[in-house]
Amino acid sequence: MSFSRFQEIPQLQSVRLFYWNTSLPIPQPDGGDGQFLFLMKDRTLGSPAEWNSKEFSRPIAHNVPFDFESLSSEKDIEELVYDALWDLEKFKEEENITALGKSISEFLFKNYGLGISNPNSPKPVIVVEFNQTWVIDRSGEGMGEVAIFDRCNYDEAADEEFIELRLRHLLGVPVESEPLRLTQVPSLDSFKQFESAGDPDDGTCAICLEGFSVSGNSRFKLPCSHVFHGDCVTRWLWRKRSCPLCRFQL
């Protein structure tokens, strides 16, 4: 007699950070400073052979509030993401929550400068999109290793109109009211890492006014060709979506 078992395979598709018009007189739900908005698509496969042929469902939305103090360090971010994923009640394997949470927290810390407490920062909504596949494995062979973090496919990511509608519903803001002015914060990996052809110590970051020779702090070039420390520009873009020097809109 053969027995079937389910194999759970989560895959992270994209992580994006937005902020909105915080001048609106809107109380934060559940007292949180910010919100995770998880958009999950799922599917069940009758066998591993259906992997490339069966489509995912439409996204199911779940929100989890958080306090800004939870972003004070990389470890705090990882714990926050783990708890948020656990609250979804969409996973059977704890190791999948751990792996997915680690991928999300590392991406947030690297690309958005989270982990540096800033009480003047705008209220964020962190949009996480992932796919969940259940495979009925009758053969016992399984799917083998499947990458937890696919390359971010922004062509298939939810558009800002959909996200704003979900956020309005969450905050209780009617569609006909004042615009939320939902703004996406550019991630650091959307810019090119800058490698100087000349003296690697040449130049100064216009944000921190320190030289580019600061150890462990890579340089990144914005589309306007201005160069800054990666850590500095992520903190800047958390507040303003423009170049600190020329005000080029990003």
Range of the domain at 122: 5-183
- Is residue 138, in this structure, part of any structural domain at all? yes
- Is residue 244, in this structure, part of any structural domain at all? no
Cβ–Cβ < 8 Å for 188, 110: yes
Backbone angles phi, psi at 106, to 5 degrees: -65, -40
Q: Please indicate, yes or no, whether the overall pTM of this predicted structure exceeds 0.85.
A: no
For 19, the token pair is 């902020």
How far is Cα 228 from Cα 218, in angstroms, rounded to an integer? Answer: 8
Q: Are residues 29 and 147 in the same domain?
A: yes
pLDDT of res. 201: 56
pLDDT of res. 1: 38
- Is residue 178, in this structure, part of any structural domain at all? yes
Which residues contact residue 105 at a Cβ distance below 8 angstroms, ignoring those fewer than 6 apart? Answer: 74, 77, 78, 80, 81
Which residue from 70, 125, 130, 121 is spatially nearest to 96, judged by alpha carbons? 130
pLDDT of res. 215: 54
Sole residue written with tokens 């006014």: 209
Cβ–Cβ < 8 Å for 37, 63: yes
For 110, the token pair is 């690297």
Low-confidence ranges of the chain (pLDDT < 50): 1-3, 143, 145-147, 151
Q: Are residues 207 and 83 in the same domain?
A: no
pLDDT of res. 115: 58
pLDDT of res. 226: 92
**Any idea how long the chain is?**
250
Q: Are residues 92 and 140 in the same domain?
A: yes
Q: Are residues 179 and 223 in the same domain?
A: no
For 90, the token pair is 């969409």
